Amino acid sequence: MSKKLSAIKAARRNYKPEIKHVSFEVLPFVRKLKRSSKKAYNNWDVKPTDDYGVACSIGTEYAAHFAQYLKDNRCMAGSNLLGHIALDIDFSDTSPAKGYWVGFFSYLENLIYEAAREIDIFSDVDEVHRATASIVFARMQEAKND
C-alpha cells in the first residue's frame, strides 16, 4: 500500500453496537451537516484528488467499512442506506475523484458475487416476498382492529 494511501485511509474497525445500532454517521465518508442545512448528512463526503488510483483504493476501503457496518448492524440492512449514499455521489464528475465511487461500487459488486454464490438467490427473494406479505397482512389486521 502506498504511503499516500495509508496516510489518508480511515482506520479499520468494527461497528458492533453496544445497545442499539451504531449511527450511520460514523462511516468515514459520511459527514453530519450544520443545522441550517436542508438535510442532516452528506452521505458521500470525499476530498478532491488528482490521483484516480488512490481514489479507487480509498473507495474500496469505504465499501469495506460500509459492508462491515451492515454486517455489525443487521437491522440497518435493507433500509436503503446504499440509495442514500448514491444520491449524494456526483456521477457526472469526470475528475480523478470519480475513482472513489468506482472503487466503492466495484468492491460491493465483488461482495454481492461472493454472497450470491452461497445461496439460492430466487429462493431467498421468494422468502423476502413472503416475509413482506406477512408484515403487510399483520398491519392490515391491526388497522382493522383500531
Q: What is the mean pLDDT of each run of 10 residues along the chain (146 residues)?
A: 61 68 88 80 94 97 96 90 96 97 98 95 92 89 84
Average confidence score pLDDT of the chain: 89
The pLDDT, as a whole number, for residue 6 is 59
The pLDDT, as a whole number, for residue 4 is 63
What does the block give as the cell for 70?
A: 451492515
Strands (E), the chain: 31-32, 41-42
C-alpha separations of 57 from 14, 28, 80, 106, 140 in Å:
19, 14, 24, 11, 47
The pTM (predicted TM-score) of the whole model is 0.79
The pLDDT, as a whole number, for residue 28 is 95
| Domain assignments of the chain as residue spans, ordered by start | 3-120
Quick: pLDDT tens for 2-33.
Answer: 666 555 667 767 677 666 667 888 999 999 88
